[in-house]
């Protein structure tokens, strides 16, 4: 009987890019979008970001919720919110009229242009945010941008405190429920904060001792167990995205 080798699963292409490449590619467009006022430019970048995320990021329920519900809802809420507060003197044809107040098509255009602009900036940030881990980002900053590793890895250790706090908070709440500890919400919060801070201090001391035991910070530089290389595909992706961004701003 001959074994049939299984083809290895292909990794989403955004995961194969350097973390800094995804940030560098989208950052100029994100900055430039702050200064545009039309509907076409942010709408085009929104479509581009959607295509890249759907085709290049791992498909998950969180991604579909963000792209299918959160972003469209944010556009509608921000667009209507800004449209309501637009100066009526800009003119336009009334779409909704309540007494002396009227919501015009010009106000809706201004409001939804703002909503699309914010949504485009947010989805462009998702290119790196949803496909990059904190560890790889810190390694890339240290290796490529020469960020001092003392700062980078200390920040990474601090970021990793957050999920630990969540787990410890759940343990404390379960312990309170087992002991029948109740009371009003402010009282429960105070009873939770004290053991949570105590646990955080103990964990910080253990991390500091572990770093000292490994001579962290004793030398100007350090070797890396895992190197995050800058490859040719990273350069191609950055340049292609910059060219696409320039074309969008020129045409739109």
Predicted confidence pLDDT, tens digits, the chain (252 residues): 454 444 444 578 898 999 999 999 999 999 999 999 889 999 999 999 999 999 999 888 889 999 999 999 999 999 988 888 887 777 777 777 777 777 888 888 889 999 999 999 999 999 998 898 888 888 888 888 888 888 888 888 877 787 888 888 888 888 877 877 665 566 667 778 888 888 888 888 888 888 888 777 777 777 777 788 899 999 999 999 999 999 999 987
The alpha-helical segments, DSSP class H, found in 34-148 are: 40-56, 61-65, 71-84, 105-129, 134-144
Q: What is the torsional sign of CA 111, 130, 240, 23?
A: positive
At residue 52, the 3 state secondary structure works out as helix
> Whole-prediction pTM value?
0.78
Kindly write down the DSSP assignment for every residue of 58-81, as one continuous string: ---HHHHHIIIIIHHHHHHHHHHH
């Amino acid at each position: 009987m001959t074994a049939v080798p299984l083809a290895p699963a292909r990794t989403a292409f955004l995961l194969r890019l350097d973390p800094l490449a995804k940030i560098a590619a989208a950052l100029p467009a994100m900055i430039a979008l702050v200064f545009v006022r039309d509907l076409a430019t942010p709408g085009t970048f929104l479509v581009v970001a959607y295509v890249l995320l759907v085709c290049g990021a791992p498909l998950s329920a969180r991604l579909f919720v963000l792209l299918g519900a959160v972003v469209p809802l944010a556009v509608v809420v921000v667009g209507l919110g800004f449209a309501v507060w637009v100066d009526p003197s800009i003119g336009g044809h009334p779409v909704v009229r309540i007494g002396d107040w009227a919501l015009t098509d010009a106000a809706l255009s201004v409001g939804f242009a703002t909503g699309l602009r914010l949504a485009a900036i947010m989805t462009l940030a998702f290119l790196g945010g949803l496909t990059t881990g904190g560890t790889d980002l810190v390694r890339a900053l240290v290796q490529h941008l020469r960020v001092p590793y003392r700062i980078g890895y200390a920040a990474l250790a601090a970021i990793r405190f957050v999920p630990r706090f969540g787990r410890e908070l759940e343990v404390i709440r379960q312990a309170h429920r087992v002991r029948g500890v109740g009371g009003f919400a402010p009282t429960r919060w105070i009873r939770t904060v004290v053991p949570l801070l105590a646990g955080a201090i103990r964990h910080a001391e253990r991390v500091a001792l572990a770093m000292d035991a490994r001579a962290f910070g004793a030398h100007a530089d350090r070797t890396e167990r895992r190197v995050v290389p800058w490859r040719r595909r990273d350069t191609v992706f950055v340049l292609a995205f910059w060219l696409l961004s320039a074309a969008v701003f020129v045409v739109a």
